[in-house]
Amino acid sequence: MQQLAAQSEIDFTSQTYKDAYSRINAIVIEGEQQAHENYLKLAELLPEHKDELVGLSKMESRHKKGFEACGRNLQVTPDTEFAQQFFAELHQNFQQAAAEGKVVSCLLIQSLIIECFAIAAYHRYIPVADPFARKITEGVVKDEYTHLNFGEVWLKEHFLEAKAELEQANRQNLPIVWKMLNKVEQDAETLGMEKEALVEDFMIQYSEALSNIGFSNREIVRLSVYGLKAA
């Protein structure tokens, strides 16, 4: 009921909405494009999972096309430059880790952090989206759970060897997520999404993932603190 009420107040054709959408839509398109590239890189790093990872990478291309259609549907031109800057730090850390053959760090960045961020954002966007975008996003978010699951399963199987690198990569990358959220806070609000709700959903997904991989509750709390310092 509350969601329906909130949604009816949103004017998808207003200049304010379209202006915010030009940045959020670009972020999502860029995020899907980078996810596509990141899974191809992971396929190189994990040849024994090549087919599965190439499959995930193809799903990301489809997501990108879906969100491009959402922008066109609202007659919005995505602000690509803004989106590239938005992802720059995380993107650079992924590239660097890949260059050093650090699979664990790559999986933490893409399959845990980025996928949890996407799941939180898409989940919060669905109830306030225009009908066209809602349908697309509902299809996409189901796939994102598969991507998160790939990371969880692999990291769980390699937990003991991966643990120290996971902690280090978490410490390096989690604070970046909060900086990114701060950068979209205003625009997300224009689209009907609250920052607190996004943070809450992200933390729920991320801590559940850490728990599935093998971290104890105490360790999860300690890992999460690195985020809060920058928030």
Distance, CA of 80 to CA of 40 (rounded, Å): 22
Residue 28 partner contact from Fe ion, ligand PL3, none using kind-dependent CB cut-offs of 5 to 8 Å: ligand PL3
Q: C-alpha distances in angstroms, 125 versus 66, 68, 136, 154, 212?
A: 15, 16, 11, 29, 26
- Contact window for ligand PL3 (CB under 6 A) among 4-12, 28-36, 156-164, 203-211: 28-36
Q: Is 152 in the site for Fe ion (CB under 5 A)?
A: no
In angstroms, rounded to a whole number, what is the distance separating the alpha carbons of residues 93 and 98? Answer: 8
CB of 107 to Fe ion, least distance (A): 12
Site mask, Fe ion, residues 24-43, x = CB under 5 A?
--------x--x--------
Which part of the chain contacts Fe ion (CB under 5 A), choosing from 58-66, 79-87, 93-101, 127-135? 58-66
Q: Taking a C-beta distance cutoff of 8 angstroms, is the pair 202, 116 a contact?
A: yes
Residues 170-209 that bind ligand PL3 (CB under 6 A): 184, 188, 193
Q: How far is CA 222 from CA 167, 218, 226, in A?
A: 10, 6, 8
- Shortest CB 207 distance to ligand PL3, Å: 18
Select 87 or 215, whichever has its Cβ closest to ligand PL3. 87
Identify the CA nearest to 87 among candidates 152, 179, 171: 179
Of the candidate residues 108, 118, 169, 199, the single one contacting ligand PL3 (CB under 6 A): 118
Phi-psi region of 192 (alpha: psi -120 to 50; beta: other; left: phi over 0): left
Tell me whether residue 150 or residue 215 sits nearer to ligand PL3 (CB atom): 150
- Where in 133-152 is the site for ligand PL3 (CB under 6 A)? 144, 147
Closest CA to 219 of 153, 148, 164, 155: 164
Residues near ligand PL3 (CB under 6 A) are: 24, 27-28, 31-32, 35, 60, 63, 114-115, 117-118, 121-122, 125, 144, 147, 184, 188, 193
